[in-house]
Amino acid sequence: MLTHNKQCRMCGSQKLTMFLDLGDQPPANRNVKPGEWLKNPEPMYPLKTYFCRDCGLAQLLDVVPKEELFRHYPFISSGVGNTPKHFQEYAQEIQKDFLKPGELVVEVGGNDGVLLSELKGVKTLNVEPALNIAPLAEKRGVPTIAEFFSGKLAKAIVKKYGKAAVVLGNNSIPHIDNQIDVMKGFKALLKGDGVGVIQAHYLGYIFDTLGYGDIYHEHLSYYALRPLVRFYKKFGLEIFDYQMLPFQGVSIRIYFGHAGKHKVQPKVAALAKEELDKGWGSIGAYRSLARAVSQSRDKLVAILTKLKKQGKHIAAYGAAAKGVPILNYAGITDKLVDFCVDGLPDKQGLCMPQSHIPIISPEEARTRPVDYYLLLAWNFREHIAEKESAFVSRGGKFIMPIGEIEIF
């Protein structure tokens, strides 16, 4: 059953202002069988984004049950774009900078173990609640607990395995409603000089690109650095460094540990100040963002409608979750977009949620006429353009669905 929070999940404030309403939408990863919606209507939940006027966290307050979203999960990290290479490089960095032989590394939401399997000479443990994915990690040789992470589970892990030198959470921690319990869990797991590393979508990417496709029910919190610095201090934890990475748009990788155990880099305070200088500490910036998103949506619909009237064949590329809020907010259906191509076999033969655009394989797509691809997996833009070089060479073009709606 849907729950609606009445206070900020980090600071507990009730000073919350809604700034962007994307309408009622189904879960973004809930692809449906053709015609299934005629028998079983899709579950629809409010998709509204709020700003906390006390701590500055952008967040959803309407929370879909975690079991519905994550017990069966279609996204497998090792099968998507440049994701495996990203995590190989990530693992090398962690191994070099923070680990000694035999130490323990715990990852929260480690998916199929693509990162942990790259670490050598250390003990690893994956906490992955998706019952269809946890066995895949085990097959990679990564011990996996198929449960939702919590402070209670963290204490049980410490009792059985000992404290961890490194605790990771990659594109998973903002998905958790109870952020306080999460940080209690991280604090319990980390040994004295241990390092926590959390990677997440960066709020600045939404501002800079109007990338509102990253707003969907799984993503409950939208991380900027400034609110996190304040939040972590409550638990005796301290953010000491960060990186910005060109992953899934732009991701921020935050490094933290027990207060006073690591030298805090000056750039941490500099970024927090930069965020404040950009106006992210007040509601005005978010209202301006919402207006720009609305204008971008209207421009996208106008372009697609014009092309369709010209007799052009339009399809979508990538049945990515981040494409779903855009399609549904814009009211784009199979009447405007012929089909969506995706390389994951589990998605092929299904339809996109709410828009009901059919999903087909790249092989089938190459037998159909396409003039324009609406690039729903735009975070893999270069990878897709290279993969579809034959399409490009015969005059095919891609449409960016966010921002200024670039055609390239």
State the CATH number of the domain containing residue 139: 3.40.50.150
If one counts every other C-beta atom within 10 angstroms of the C-beta of residue 93, the result is 12
Residues in the chain: 408
Is 43 part of any domain? no
Residues paired with 145 in a beta bridge: 127
Q: In terms of domains, do 89 and 220 share one? A: yes
Q: Please classify residue 196 by burial: count the beta carbons closer than 10 Å to its beta carbon, then call 0-12 exposed, 13-18 middle and 19+ buried.
A: buried
Task: Tell the burial category of 404 from Cβ atoms under 10 Å away from its Cβ (0-12, 13-18, 19+).
Answer: exposed
Q: Which residues contact 129 (CB under 8 A, 6 or more apart)?
A: 66, 70, 71, 109, 146, 147, 148, 149
Residue ranges in the chain whose pLDDT is less than 70: 79-82
Backbone angles phi, psi at 165, to 5 degrees: -75, -35
Q: What values do phi and psi take at 290, rounded to 5? A: -60, -40
| Domain assignment of residue 304, yes or no | no
Same domain, 139 and 235: yes
Indicate whether 182 belongs to any domain. Answer: yes
Q: How far apart are the first and last CA of the chain?
A: 43
The pTM of this model reads 0.94
**Residues 74 and 129 placed together within one structural domain of the fold:** yes
d(CA 237, CA 191): 12
Same structural domain for residues 389 and 321?
A: yes
- The domain of 266 spans 70-278
Q: What sign has the CA pseudo-torsion 406, 60, 358, 387?
A: positive
pLDDT tens-digit series, residues 53-72: 999 999 999 999 999 999 99
Cβ pair 215, 22 in contact under 8 A: yes
User: In which residue are the tokens 């939702």 written?
Assistant: 148
Within a domain: 151: yes
Answer yes or no: do 270 and 322 share one domain: no
CA-wise closest residue to 400 among 307, 305, 296, 312:
296
Domain check: are 78 and 222 in the same one? yes
pLDDT confidence of residue 244: 97
Domain final position from 231, 257, 278:
278
In a domain, 288, yes or no: no
Residue 383 tokens read as 């990878």
For the chain, what is the domain count? 2
Residue 385: what pLDDT?
A: 87
* 157-167 b/e (C-beta count within 10 Å ≥ 16 → b): bbeeeebbbbb
The 3-state DSSP class for residue 202 equals strand
The one-character DSSP state at 184 is H
Residues 202 and 85 grouped into a single domain: yes
pLDDT at 84: 81
